[in-house]
Amino acid sequence: MPKGIPNKRYTPEFKVMVVETMRKEKLNYCEAARQFEVSDSKRIASWERIYLTEGPEGLAVERRGRASAASGTRKGRISKLNKQVEEDLIAENQRLRAEVAYLRQHRTEKKLR
């Protein structure tokens, strides 16, 4: 059984050119995929979404693999929360964990009496 062709990788410059040409010439995803010989029109749709939300620089970010559980965001993406809000949430989380630990300890002491 033949293995097939591995996934083709496209340069950020090529992605920007495809999206900008598609928008300028008012091509739909299928027409753009055919014109630029991209295997799947969904790939172009995702490039356009990234282009519109993050700008042309967003197409240069490597997006392979699963999201990191530690960071809670996808690889290379910027957190949508500003730093102050993120720090406040972390501090609140720590306070709540301390409160839960205190209440558990207090409940255990109460049972021992």
User: What rounded mean pLDDT belongs to the chain?
Assistant: 83
For residues 17-24, average pLDDT = 93
The domain segmentation of the chain, as residue ranges, is: 9-63, 79-113
Note whether 42 and 33 are within 8 A (CB): no
Q: What is the 3-state secondary structure (H, E, C) of 7-66?
A: CCCCCHHHHHHHHHHHHHCCCCHHHHHHHHCCCCHHHHHHHHHHHHHHCHHHHHCCCCCC
* pLDDT of 1: 42
What pLDDT digit, counting tens, does each position of 42-98 carry? 999 999 999 998 888 888 888 777 766 655 555 555 567 788 888 999 999 999 999
Task: Please state at what angle helix 29-36 crosses helix 12-24, rounded to 10 degrees.
Answer: 130
